[in-house]
Chain A
């Protein structure tokens, strides 16, 4: 049981290090094999993956007023009228 827990922590650490990077090293193969059968590590993987996706998908839009204030700040408003 204790060995399994240590192994899970190693896998989770590996996820934090390498998510998004593919590798065929023997260690990566070992990690993938563990992930396939360990529900706990799958949940951890999913939570790290979701963390990244949440911040990727949280975007805000610039509006026309902001663009105009930017051009005023740069003193380049005449550029938009060329």
Chain B
């Protein structure tokens, strides 16, 4: 059944349609929540709150935008709200774009993408690096680069202008690359 039809049926109280909608998106929502929170318990909590918002707001959902986009927006906002309660010093200060790039600190990496599922050491390195990045930057990187939304779509979701998204994305990419470079360049892994 198409998403539009599922939403229309769920809006009229069709329980099976609601269950199908939840099943259709629970993996995406949980995975994205984890990618932001890097904590399974917080990710599950975010998933639950996100679907609670969906159930409450389904009646007003017009279908002008995709439900998945709306869910990504809710997850992003929920995670940002949780992160603002955290202490600022838990995150590394983001330097200006100029200082983030050191053309002398370039090396081959000891590992290539792929087979991440079996590599717990790499997962720890990835978790540690992204956890240092301020959530406002982390969410932009995840929406744009990992989930594949356009710069414009990302801006709409987090209510930022295109230049602001681009600036944060630039810094997030360079910051994460620098953090991973410390652990993954040859001789360090």
Contacts and interface: CB of A to CB of B under 8 A. Distances in A.
Interface string B112-129: 111010000011001000
Q: What DSSP secondary structure best describes chain B's contact surface?
A: helix
Interface in A38-63: 40, 43-44, 46-48, 50-62
A51 B23 contact: no
Give the size category of A's interface with B: 35 or more
A3 B4 CA distance: 57
Contact of B106 (A47, A56, A62): A47
Interface residues of B, number: 49
A20 B149 CA distance: 12
Nearest 10 CB-CB pairs, A to B? A53-B113, A79-B19, A79-B15, A82-B16, A82-B15, A73-B48, A8-B103, A62-B30, A16-B170, A52-B145
Interface of B: 15-16, 18-19, 22-23, 26-27, 30-31, 34-35, 40, 43-44, 47-48, 51-52, 55, 97, 100-101, 103, 106-109, 112-114, 116, 122-123, 126, 130, 141-142, 145-146, 166, 169-170, 173-174, 176-177, 180-181
